Chain A
Amino acid sequence: MKCVKTTLKGWREIPEGGAITEPGSSVNFDVTAWRTSSPVIDQEKCTKCGMCFLYCPDSAIEIDETGNYRVNISYCKGCGICAKGCAPKAITMVKEGH
């Protein structure tokens, strides 16, 4: 899924009381700036067990058309939970900017 970055709304445009009136608004939210490291999946080691997909608190792990697990980096906050949960240690957290 592609992250759709919307322009930020002004106070007059936001529904009263800061309510969210459209479902699925979190897809508009890019969390790249939160991350200090990103997960890199070694497809050779990956057994496709799907644990990273289940564990990721931000649903940043997606399955591509070839059946491989991939990180959608716009939604990844770099928490490292996927790497901890990966039994064959196929995921390495790599520091941003390295």
Chain B
Amino acid sequence: MVRRIGISGNYAVAYAVKMADVDMIAAYPITPQTTIVEKLSEFVANGELDASYMNVESEHSAISACVGASLTGARVFTATSSQGLALMHEILFMASALRTPIVMANVNRALSAPLNIWNDHSDAMAQRDAGWIQLWVRSAQEAFDATVESFKIAEETRLPVMVNMDGFIVSHMYEPVELPDEEEIRKFIPSRPLENRVSTKRAHAVGVVGPPEYYYEMKYQAIDAIEESRPKIKEIDNDFNSRFGKSYSEIDTYGIEEADAALILMGSIFGSAKEVANALRRDGKNVGVISLRVFRPFPVQELRRAIEGIRAVGVVDRATSPGGSGNPLYNEVATALYDMPERPVIQGFVAGLGGRDIREDDFRLMYDATQKAAREGAGRCIYVGLRE
């Protein structure tokens, strides 16, 4: 039986992890992620979840512990934000190259300095090349569903998965969330023992030196694995849909069928973008929105299909790449669309850094500028709401 309860995005993740029956949780608190591991510690302490709960001294240790535990075949989870994710940086690359199916919630928060605990996407964007699958959710329900799916995606692709959720806006917002029966979840992701790759029963070395004769080939395995994950992510979502009646595609669109201009964005601002698009459409402006749920592997074909017939797209980055040719999401989109025979013009925007709200007027400005770009060509990146 499906239960409908009021919980925060963070708690939704914690419930998903509990129902996934993880074997090990590495915990280090950091705002705004803390209440995920806090809730999990409660589950473990009161006997609802039989898992080893490891308090570590830093995020670097948290992810290292996850790599080690995952190599033994355990199902593992950790959560982090911002500086914590940055501290994990070097181990993130090992997790993907060693093919450890770790699931991690990353509650998106700005990177220092100045110190800021609020939401933007700079933490995850700085880790985009680490070889992790990256999912982006927009509500507590999506956080729950994506976390459940992530365990299956991770274990079937043997790649780590990062579930990204906007700090505070999703993580601390209490919303009604439908929780299926724990038994049903366990049928979807059975606790099948993954192979123990560090058993003393046989000679087996992992984390070895890869000299120039081998590094390239070893690295390529992880590149191939993430390419191969594309159909698996779809398949797993179909399976999830047939069991729980919810489906999530790589990209979501709103009103793009007849649009001449559309915004492309990630995360919880999809809701506001839709509202404003709706208002503008009532005034006769043909605008729409595209939201990415999967950022790695980047949904190139899906985006190209969605974009057909649209004359201008505006890419909303909530992270920057100072001195770059564009900001992270802009660069991805521009590269994905570059060799389309009739590609749209692409206008870049930066908005909502360090928790700055993106308000109705900001969206209106972005839609207008994108429509203007359709007529006159794109200009330089617009830093929306920046005071001079």
Contact = CB atoms under 8 A, between A and B. Distances in A.
Interface of A: 8-11, 14, 16-23
A9 B214 CA distance: 8
Nearest to B225: A16
A16 B99 contact: yes
Contacts of A22: 203
Interface residues of B, number: 19
B214 A19 contact: no
Contact of B214 (A16, A17, A18, A21): A18
B283 interface: no
Given A8-B213, A19-B197, A14 B204 contact: no
Interface stretch (B13-21, B215-223, B366-374): B215-223
B221 A16 contact: yes
Nearest to A29: B211
Given A19-B208, A23-B203, A11 B221 contact: yes
B263 interface: no
A16 B204 CA distance: 12
B205 A17 contact: no
Given A8-B213, A19-B197, A14 B205 contact: no
B218 A18 contact: yes
A14 B218 contact: yes
Contacts of A17: 97-100, 158, 197, 206, 218, 221
B97 A18 contact: yes
Contacts of B100: 17
B224 interface: yes
B144 to A, nearest CB: 30
A12 to B, nearest CB: 8
A8 B213 CA distance: 7
Contacts of A19: 197, 204-206, 208
A18 B203 contact: no
Shortest 5 CB-CB contacts between residues of A and residues of B: A18-B218, A23-B203, A11-B217, A17-B99, A20-B205
B221 to A, nearest CB: 5
A19 to B, nearest CB: 5
Given A9-B217, A10-B217, A21 B203 contact: yes
B210 interface: yes
A16 B70 CA distance: 14
A10 B218 CA distance: 9
A10 to B, nearest CB: 6
Given A11-B224, A18-B98, A20-B206, 9 more contacts: A9-B214, A10-B217, A11-B217, A14-B217, A14-B221, A17-B98, A17-B100, A17-B221, A18-B214
B114 to A, nearest CB: 40
B60 to A, nearest CB: 20
Nearest to A13: B217
B222 to A, nearest CB: 8
A22 B202 CA distance: 9
Interface in B188-218: 197, 203-206, 208, 210, 213-214, 217-218
